[in-house]
Amino acid sequence: MSKKLFSVGLDIGSSKVSVCIGTVSDGNIDILGLGKATCNGVRKGVVVDVEETVTAVSTALEEAERMCDCPVESVVVGIGGPHIESTISRGVIAVSKNDGEISEADAMRVIEAARAVPNQPNREVLHVIPKTFTVDGQVGIADPVGMSGIRLEVDTNVISGSLAAIKNVSRCASQAGLAISDMVFSPLATSKIMLSKQQKEIGSILIDIGAGTTSYTVFEEGELVHCGVLSIGSGHITNDIAIGLRTNINLAEIIKIKYGYASPEKIDDKEEIDLSTFDKSETGTASVKYIAEIIEARLNEIFILIRDQLREINREGMLPAGVILTGGGAKLEGMAEMVKDILRLPTQIGKPILPLTGVVDNLNDPVYATSAGLMVWGIESGNVSVPKKMAVPELGGMVGKVRNIFKKFLP
């Protein structure tokens, strides 16, 4: 791997950092390297210990770099956490040309106008996502460029985050020796690789159950309708088990992964685990049904909150392409059936929807969904790295080519 353009996604999660390096090869997205490292420097999606996080970023990066022998200089980094907010904002401008033909520059200008949400000193706008345009009062226009009009309006979703949280993510990347080519609200990147064009068109919700957060993105008619982050994740289930069984956290995590089930009704009353099998310092037994009851209570809380969000936007039970689950928490047995019952929607565990080659087996593990999504985001937006030896003028042309190749795949 010497002269190919590649993109790198960096996901700084509440339990682990993951890195995905990818490129385009023979018309496919080729996954070149993956790396993962446990991280104790992030709580509820927010960096709370820069030093710990930098160590985890460096370890994950080294693992991915070793796999493909390509030194990484810049990354597309994800950001999450409950400080992220999505608001609807409207931009309005007068069309600049005398003949009233709307240009690409007008479209960019009106989107920029929507970015100017009331000044919030401690927040930074991450994305301004246009939903629909209005030209001289005619609503529901997807692309106004080339149309005639005098007054151009746009409704957008503005996604912003806390300035301090954003700065801390930047600090971690730069202290690990990385430049940031783009910072992306993580669930948007995850949806690039987990939701097909059709699922986004028909109506679907992607739910990422992480360790410290559960984030969701709702799509309809190809557009982002709603998104958000709850500060509860699968790590809370581990804590609940530790409290319920009075065991240490490490044992609670093992029990969750090995014996955890989302609904207690399916478990035999008599099924018991001998705790000393996993930890010699522990004594006694635990009922598998009781563990499932603990898990069910927390999952109910999470998915009722999501149902409330869907109710607020009038989509409760109304997304025909249903629920797609990802994130490490989605690996819990019985999860899809439970979510289906609570949200009253078809539910499946997500798998990458793009044609992928390379070290793809690992990509079926949802732990890599976000870093892979960020990598794809980088290629789509032209945020690719090029080995230093390559002449700089080639870059623009190459990036353009990569973007064109990817247009075929990207949802």
Ligand X SMILES: Nc1ncnc2c1ncn2[C@@H]1O[C@H](COP(=O)(O)OP(=O)(O)OP(=O)(O)O)[C@@H](O)[C@H]1O
Among the listed residues 91, 149, 212, 382, the single contact to ligand X using CB under 6 A: 212
Stretch that binds Mg ion, among 11-19, 64-72, 263-271, 311-319 (CB under 5 A): 11-19
33 vs 328, which CB is nearer to ligand X? 328
Please give the torsion angle defined by the CA atoms of residues 12, 18, 19 and 25, in that order, rounded to the nearest 10 degrees.
Answer: -130
Rounded Cα–Cα distance for residues 18 and 189 (Å)? 14
Question: Position of tokens 């001998």?
Answer: 274
Q: Is 213 a residue that touches ligand X (CB under 6 A)?
A: yes
Write the DSSP string, 280-325: TT--SEEEHHHHHHHHHHHHHHHHHHHHHHHHHTT-TT--TT-EEE
Q: Does residue 10 sit in helix, strand or coil?
A: strand
26 vs 361, which CB is nearer to ligand X? 361
Chain residues 20-79 in contact with ligand X, contact rule CB under 6 A: 45
158 vs 367, which CB is nearer to ligand X? 367
14 vs 134, which CB is nearer to ligand X? 14
253 binds, among ligand X, Mg ion, none (CB under 5 to 8 A by kind): ligand X
5 vs 211, which CB is nearer to Mg ion? 211
Q: Is 13 a residue that touches Mg ion (CB under 5 A)?
A: yes
Chain residues 239-268 in contact with ligand X, contact rule CB under 6 A: 253, 256-257, 260
Q: Is 210 a residue that touches Mg ion (CB under 5 A)?
A: yes
Stretch that binds ligand X, among 14-22, 191-199, 311-319, 395-403 (CB under 6 A): 14-22
Chain residues 358-387 in contact with ligand X, contact rule CB under 6 A: 367
331 binds, among Mg ion, ligand X, none (CB under 5 to 8 A by kind): ligand X
Interior CA angle at 309 toward 244 and 187, to 5°?
85
Beta-carbon count within 10 A of 340 CB: 15
**Contact (CB, 8 A) for 368 and 362:** yes
Rounded Cα–Cα distance for residues 390 and 387 (Å)? 6
Amino acid, res. 251: L
User: How many residues of this chain bind ligand X (CB under 6 A)?
Assistant: 24
Question: Position of tokens 């289906």?
Answer: 340
Stretch that binds Mg ion, among 82-90, 172-180, 208-216, 255-263 (CB under 5 A): 208-216
Question: Interface mask (CB under 6 A) for ligand X, residues 177-206, using x and -?
Answer: ------------------------------
Rounded Cα–Cα distance for residues 127 and 86 (Å)? 9
User: How far are the Cα atoms of 8, 121, 325 from residue 84, in angstroms, in the given order?
Assistant: 23, 15, 20
210 vs 358, which CB is nearer to Mg ion? 210
Pairing of strands 323-326, 285-287: unpaired
Kindly list the residues in this chain that would bind ligand X in the complex (CB under 6 A).
13-16, 45, 80, 210-213, 233-235, 238, 253, 256-257, 260, 327-329, 331-332, 367
